[in-house]
Amino acid sequence: MFALTPFGRRFGVDSYNPFREFENMEKSFFGSGALAEFKTDIREKDGKYILEADLPGFRKEDIRISLDGDYMTITAERKAENEEKDEKGNYIRSERSFGSFSRTFDLSGVDSEKIDASYQDGVLSVIMPKKEKEEKKDRYIEIR
C-alpha cells in the first residue's frame, strides 16, 4: 500500500495565501500602509490650551493653519527631491518625497481671535486662549 501524506505539508498548500503577493506588492509600492499623520499633544495651562504638533522635516512655509467657524485645520505638505548625478549628468540616485498631512481640531471653547502659533525645531506650537465665561444672571420671565 502507499503512504498517505497530508497534501498541505507535501506541497505547502495550507500556508499558501493567494493575496500575499498583492499585499507585498502594495507595501513595496506605497510603503508600510500605515496612515500618515502627525502626533499632537494638547495641554491646559494658565487659562490657555497649548497644542504641540510634531512636524519634523517641514519648513515653516509648508505649514498652514486655517480657521473655519469653530474648527481649526493644520495642514503640512512636503515636496522634497534629492538628486545625485555623476560628472556626465547621469543619475546615480534620484529620490522624491511628497505627502500631505492634515488634522482638524474643535475650537468651541477657544477665543479664536487671540490664537498665536510658532514653529521651531520641527515642533509647531499653537497657543489658544480660553473663552471667558459669561456670567449668567438670574432673571424672571414675565408670563403674558
What distance in Å separates the CA atoms of residue 129 and residue 127, rounded to the nearest whole number? Answer: 7
Q: How many angstroms separate the CA atoms of 120 and 105, rounded?
A: 21
- Mean pLDDT computed over every residue of the chain: 77
Highest mean pLDDT among 29-38, 54-63, 115-124: 115-124
Greater confidence, 6 or 43? 43
Q: From CA 143, how far away is CA 141, in angstroms rounded?
A: 6
Res. 86: pLDDT tops 70:
no
Helices (H) and strands (E) in the chain, counts: 2, 7
- When mean pLDDT is compared over 56-65, 75-84, 119-128, the highest value belongs to 119-128
3-state secondary structure of 82: strand
What pTM value is reported for the model? 0.60
